[in-house]
Structure 1
Amino acid sequence: MKGKKRNLEFYYLFFLSITAIAAIIYSVFWADQAVDYKALIQENISGVTSIEKIIGTKPAYKVEAAGGCYYAVCDSAMGYQSKVETMSIIDEKGMVEKVLVTKQGETPDFFERLYKQDYFNSFNGLSVKEPIYLGGASGYSGYLAGNQTTNYIDRISGSTVSSHAVAEAVNGGNLYLSRQIFNTAWTNPYDVFQLTWKELAMIVMYLIALAGVYVKKLVRIRIWVLLVSIGVLGLLINQFATANLLFSLIHLQIPGITNIKWYVLIAGSLGFIIFLGKNLYCAWICPFGAAQEFLNKVAGFKPLGISQPVIKKLKLVPSTILWVALILGTCLGNYGTLDYQPFGALFLLKATWVIWLMLPVFLFMSLFFNRFYCQFFCPVGFIYNLINRWRNKGVRTWKQIWNRWKNKKEEG
C-alpha cells in the first residue's frame, strides 16, 4: 500500500521547521556571545590600571583606577519577556556609582522608557550595605511599602515589570558584594515569597479552566470566564503568554520562585498541554482571544464564506510570520522581533506603529470570523497547538507500542 502523498504545503512546513531549528540551535550555542565585562568596565571607569576577577559564583571584579578602588558585579532577573542582566559599579565606600544593562530582550517600547526617564541614574549614590527598594510597585517583590529608608528608587509607570527586573538584578549583585567585600549581610526583599490578589486571581482562573475539563457543564459559563479574563489578565494584571517568553525558555531564562505570575502563566499553560493534552490557555484564558470571541458573539454577524482551500492556505500564515521573526531575530541578535502581538496595544495602549495599524483590522475581522487573529496570526497559539499535537501523537504511539508488547507477552 502506498504511503500518503505529501503535498507542497508539507515540504514548505518542513523547510520552515528545519531552518527554524537551525536558527534556534545557532542562537543558543553561538549567537549569544558572552559579554566582555572587562571592556565594559574600562569604558565606564576612567583611568583603569588593573581589573582582577573576584573568585565566586557571580561575575564580579575589583578595579584599580586613577580615581581609587572600585568593584563591579553582574546579576540578572526575569523581566516582561526576557532576562535582564545588569552590571553595578560600586566605589570603595560601598556606594553605587553606575548601573549598566549588559543583556536584555525586552519589548523596546517598554524598556526605552527606563532610559528616557533616567531610571538608571536613580541608583547612583545608593548603598550596597542595605536593600534598594522599589517605590510605587505594590504587589512586586522589593516593594518599598512602609520601610523607613532613603535607599530606594521609584518604578517607571508603564514599565513596572522592567523596572522591577532591573532593581531585582541590581539587588542580587549588591547583596553578593555586600557579603564578599563589605562584610555586611541583609535579607533580600526580592527573594521574599509573596502571594497577592493578582497571583490568586490568575490561579483561580487556571483552576476554573482545569475544572472545565472534568465538569462539562462549566462550558456554558466559558464566555463569562473569558470576559473576566479581559478585565483581570488583560486590563488589571497585564499578563499574556508571548512568543518571546516561550523562546526565553529555550535559553533557560527561568525566573526565581518569587515570580509566581510567570509560573502560573507559562508553566500552567504548558502543564495543561503536557499532562492533559489540551490547550486550555487559548480556549479559556487568553485575554486577546477572549476579546475577539466576545466581539464576535455581541456582533452576531454572519460568518464570512471563506472556502476550505483558502482557510488551509491562511493556516500557513502563523508559522510563516513566526519563522520570519525568528530568522530576523537570529540575524540581528535581537529577539524583540518576536514581539509582534497586539496585546500591548489593546490592553496597555503601547505598541509599534505596525501593530497599531493591524489591531483594528484584527478586531474588525473578528466580528465576522471568530478569533481571526488566533487562527491566522497568533504565534503562541501556533506553538501551543503544535506542542499539543506532538504530545497527543506521542501518547497515542506509546499506547500502541505498549498494547502490542502487552498482547505479545500474553500470547507468549
Structure 2
Amino acid sequence: MEGKRQNPETYYLAVLFITAIAAIFYGILWTSKTIDYEAVIQQNIPGVTSIEKMIGAQRAYQVDAAGKKYYAVCDSAVGYQSRIEAMTIVNQEGLVEKVIITQQGETPIFFERLYTRKLFDQFKNLSVKEPVYLGGASGYSGYLNERQTNNYIDRVTGSTVSSHAVAEAVNKGTAYIASKCFNTRWSNPYDGYQFNRQDLAMMMIYIIALATAFIKKLVRLRIWILLASFGIMGFFVKKFVAASNLFSLITLQIPGLTNLGWYVLIGGTLGFIVLLGKNIYCAWICPFGAAQEVINKAAGFKSLGISPQVTKKLKLAAPTILWVAIMLGTFLGDYGTLDYQPF
C-alpha cells in the first residue's frame, strides 16, 4: 500500500525550520563578536602603561596609568531579551570611574534610553565597598527601597529591565573587586528573588488563560478576558513574547531563577504549547491579538468568506515572516533589533 503523501506545505515548513535552526547556530558559533578588552581599557583610561590580567576565572585586570592604579572588571546579567556585559573601571580609592557596555542585544530604541538619560553617568564615584542599589524599581532585586545610602542609581523609566541588568552586572563585578582588592565582602542584593505587582498580574492572566482550556463556560467571557489581557499585558506589565525572546532562549541567554516574571512569560507560553498542544498565549493573552479581536467585534466586521484553500496558504505567512526575521537577525548579527511578535 502506498504511503500517505505529504502535502507541499509540510515540506515548505520543514525547509523553513531546518534553515532557521542552521542560521541560528551559524550566528552563535561563527559570527559572534570578539571583544578586545585590553583595547577597551586603553580607550577609557588615559595614559595606560601596563595591563595585567588578575588571577582567576573572573575577567578582571589591574591597570597602571599616569602613576595611578585602576581595576577593570567585566560581568554580565540578562536583560529583557539578551545578556548585557558591562566593564566597570574602579580607581585606587575604590570608587567607580566608568561603566562601559561591551556586549548587549537589547531592543535598540529601549537600550538607547540608558545613554540619552545618562544612566551610566550615575555610577561615577560610587563605592565598591557596598552594593550599588537601584532606585525606582520596586519589586526588583537590588531595589533601593528605604535604605539610607547614597550608593545607588535611578532606573530609566521605560527601560527598567535593562537598567536592572546593567546594575546587576556592575554589582557582580564590583563585589569581586571589593573582595580581592579592598578586603571587603558584602551580600549581593541582586541574588534575591524578585516578584513585583506586574509579575503577579501577569501570573493571574496566565492562570485565567489556562482555565479556559478546561472550563468551556469561560468562552462566554472571552471579550472581557481579552480586554483584561490587553490592559494588563499591554499597559501595566508591558511585556509580550517577541522573536528576540525566543532567540535568547535558544542561545541560552536565560536569567537566573530569581527573575520569576521571565519564566512566567516564556515558560508559561511555551509550556502551554508543549503540555496542552494549544497556543493559549495567542488565543487569550497576547495584547496585540486581543486588540485586533476587540476592534473587529466593535466594528462589526463580517467574514470575508475566504475559501479553506486560501486560508491554508495564508497560515504560512506567520512562519515565513518569522523565518525572514531569523535570517535578518543572522545577517545583521543582532537578534535584538528584531522585536517581532511571532505568535
TM-score bracket for the superposition, by shorter chain length: over 0.9
CA distance in 2, matches of 1:334, 1:197: 31
> RCO (CA 8 Å, sep 6+): is it higher in 1 or 2?
2
Number of the residue aligned with 1:397: none
Report the more deviating stretch, 91-100 or 213-222. Answer: 213-222
CA distance in 2, matches of 1:64, 1:164: 31
Matched to 1:181, the amino acid is C
Number of the residue aligned with 2:170: 170
Q: Is the 1:325–1:337 Cα contact (8 Å) retained in structure 2?
A: no
CA distance in 1, matches of 2:28, 2:129: 36
Q: Deviations over 1:36-57 (max 9, x none)?
A: 2222112222222222222334
Q: Is the 1:134–1:144 Cα contact (8 Å) retained in structure 2?
A: yes
Q: Deviations over 1:47-100 (max 9, x none)?
A: 222222223342111122224111111111121221111110111111111101
SS of 1:33 mapped into structure 2: coil
Number of the residue aligned with 1:159: 159
Q: Deviations over 1:215-234 (max 9, x none)?
A: 33233323322211111121
Number of the residue aligned with 1:255: 255
Name the Cα RMSD after superposition: 1.9
CA distance in 2, matches of 1:340, 1:282: 14
CA distance in 2, matches of 1:284, 1:148: 44
Number of the residue aligned with 2:226: 226
Matched to 1:195, the amino acid is F
SS of 1:55 mapped into structure 2: coil
Matched to 1:85, the amino acid is E
CA distance in 1, matches of 2:9, 2:203: 39
Number of the residue aligned with 1:199: 199
CA distance in 1, matches of 2:324, 2:215: 41
Q: Is the 2:195–2:259 Cα contact (8 Å) retained in structure 1?
A: no
Q: Is the 1:46–1:67 Cα contact (8 Å) retained in structure 2?
A: no
Matched to 2:260, the amino acid is I
CA distance in 2, matches of 1:172, 1:269: 30
Task: Check if 1:36 corresponds to 2:36.
Answer: yes
User: Aligned ranges for residues 12-411 of structure 1 at < 5 Å?
Assistant: 12-341=12-341, 379=342, 381=343
Unpaired segments of 5 or more residues in structure 1? 342-378, 382-412
CA distance in 1, matches of 2:14, 2:194: 45
Post-superposition offset of 1:103 = 1.0
Matched to 1:56, the amino acid is G
CA distance in 2, matches of 1:275, 1:55: 47
Post-superposition offset of 1:184 = 1.1
Q: Is the 2:81–2:336 Cα contact (8 Å) retained in structure 1?
A: no
Post-superposition offset of 1:105 = 0.8
Unpaired segments of 5 or more residues in structure 2? none
Matched to 1:128, the amino acid is V
Post-superposition offset of 1:199 = 1.9
Post-superposition offset of 1:317 = 1.9
Report the more deviating stretch, 7-16 or 35-44. Answer: 7-16
In percent, how many aligned pairs have the same letter?
64
CA distance in 1, matches of 2:25, 2:93: 44
Post-superposition offset of 1:104 = 0.8
Number of the residue aligned with 1:394: none
Report the more deviating stretch, 110-119 or 97-106. Answer: 110-119
SS of 1:214 mapped into structure 2: coil
Q: Is the 2:76–2:86 Cα contact (8 Å) retained in structure 1?
A: yes
SS of 2:148 mapped into structure 1: coil
CA distance in 1, matches of 2:296, 2:151: 51
SS of 1:256 mapped into structure 2: coil
Number of the residue aligned with 1:359: none
Q: Count matched residues.
A: 343
Q: Is the 2:63–2:72 Cα contact (8 Å) retained in structure 1?
A: yes
Q: Is the 1:98–1:124 Cα contact (8 Å) retained in structure 2?
A: yes
Q: Is the 1:326–1:337 Cα contact (8 Å) retained in structure 2?
A: no
Structure showing the higher helix proportion among its residues: 1
SS of 2:141 mapped into structure 1: coil
Matched to 2:321, the amino acid is I
Report the more deviating stretch, 331-340 or 236-245. Answer: 331-340
Q: Deviations over 1:260-292 (max 9, x none)?
A: 110111111222222232222222221221111
SS of 2:35 mapped into structure 1: coil
Post-superposition offset of 1:7 = 5.2
Post-superposition offset of 1:240 = 0.7
Q: Is the 2:140–2:195 Cα contact (8 Å) retained in structure 1?
A: no
Q: Is the 1:134–1:154 Cα contact (8 Å) retained in structure 2?
A: yes
Post-superposition offset of 1:242 = 1.0
Report the more deviating stretch, 56-65 or 287-296. Answer: 56-65
Q: Deviations over 1:94-119 (max 9, x none)?
A: 11111011111111111111112222
CA distance in 1, matches of 2:304, 2:19: 35
